[in-house]
Copies of this chain bind each other. A is one copy, B any other.
Amino acid sequence: MKARVTVMLKSGVLDPQGEAVRHALGSLGFQGVNGVRQGKVIELDLAEADPAKAEAEVKAMCDKLLANTVIESYRVEVL
């Protein structure tokens, strides 16, 4: 079973990486980019076959390792 985790900085947390991308896009001539936020996506290939159990396991992984829940929020999709 596959799962995808998307981790983004919470809104309100400064995102210098996104800001750098926004600036670079402007330098390349792309107008009208009002904001950029950059996060990470983690695709997991799990042995677990039950979707509910897989989701619970992935959420535990996020809380323990994949996301810093003080400043980041995460979203889990079981595919």
Q: How many Å lie between the Cα of A1 and that of B32 in the bound state?
A: 10
Q: How far is the CB of A53 from chain B (nearest CB, A)?
A: 10
Q: Is the CB of B44 within 8 A of A41?
A: no
Q: Is the CB of A65 within 8 A of B33?
A: no
**Which of B6, B30, B48, B60 is close to A61, meaning CB atoms less than 8 Å apart?**
B30
Q: Is the CB of A37 within 8 A of B43?
A: yes
Chain B residues with CB below 8 A from A8, complex form: 41, 43
Chain B residues with CB below 8 A from A66, complex form: 21
7 A–B contacts, CB within 8 A, in A order: A6-B41, A25-B65, A30-B60, A32-B46, A32-B48, A34-B46, A41-B41
